[in-house]
Structure 1
Amino acid sequence: MTAPKPQRRARRIAMTPEEVDAFLAAERTCRVATNGTHGPHATPLWYLWDGGNLWLTSLSRSQRWTDLMNDPRIAAVVDAGHDYGELRGVELRGTVEVVGEVPRTGEPHPELERVEQAYADRYTGGQVVVDGRHAWLRLRPEKITSWDFRKIPQS
């Protein structure tokens, strides 16, 4: 696996890798942008960050899924903060790959066992939900950009 490209701009306010991991572990919703035939499509999703991959589960009969099967390039943003001086976030860019069967029916898949349980622990009280309508996508980021406006010197 290739490491993501280093951030070139706004490095002064960039998060460290440890801060990125902590931030992505704490927040719960990302906004995913796909390339559709009629232009960009952005939707919120729950996600799981495992320290190197962003895991997404998506309805396999959705515009997002159709877009990604035609063009697997994706951008996902997780952000937080209300006032200017507390804004922070992470953008992850790359291509997604499908992991497991489509739609997910619960067939044994060693790679998904830990992902599904961690996702269930995070969002559904520990109960793994397999509904026969969703499928898993893995984003191995090619580029990660982060910002934390709390690092801007206050005057």
Structure 2
Amino acid sequence: MVKHYLDEAISELGELIAITKQDIENIQKADHSHVDDHSKKKTELVRKFEKTKSQLDNELVKLAQANAGTDLASMLSDEIKDRLAQLRDSLETLQKFNKEYAKSVVVVKEFYDSLLKTMLGAQNPSSYGDGTKSSLADAEKLLKLRI
């Protein structure tokens, strides 16, 4: 079962990595048509991975308890150890791409925030309506709802 859960976890991480790579490419192309679908799919994959990881942990605990006093590493086959290393590599790869994705999202958000402030006259409050912050905040909420 350990091998099965490892394979499943690695596969789920592979899908997450592929979607995240695609999201980065889409941000660079300013293509937001897949944001909703990808967000839902990534959320589902994360849940599946968490469940698989929990099942893997339970199997490893059972194995350790069944062989009390024996080092867990010595009980695992070389194939399982290789898969654990592959799981770790996949997690590190996902982390790398998530960091890159987060940087891109922040840059885009800052761009849109500055654009919004410029469009709504935040640089010169008296040029937009009565210049109150509430009208700017209302306009920002309206724009965010539409996005």
Task: Please give the TM-score of this superposition, normalised by the length of structure 1.
Answer: 0.20
Name whichever structure is richer in strand by fraction.
1
TM-score (norm. length: structure 2): 0.20
Q: More helix by proportion, 1 or 2?
A: 2
Which entry has the higher C-alpha Rg, 1 or 2?
2
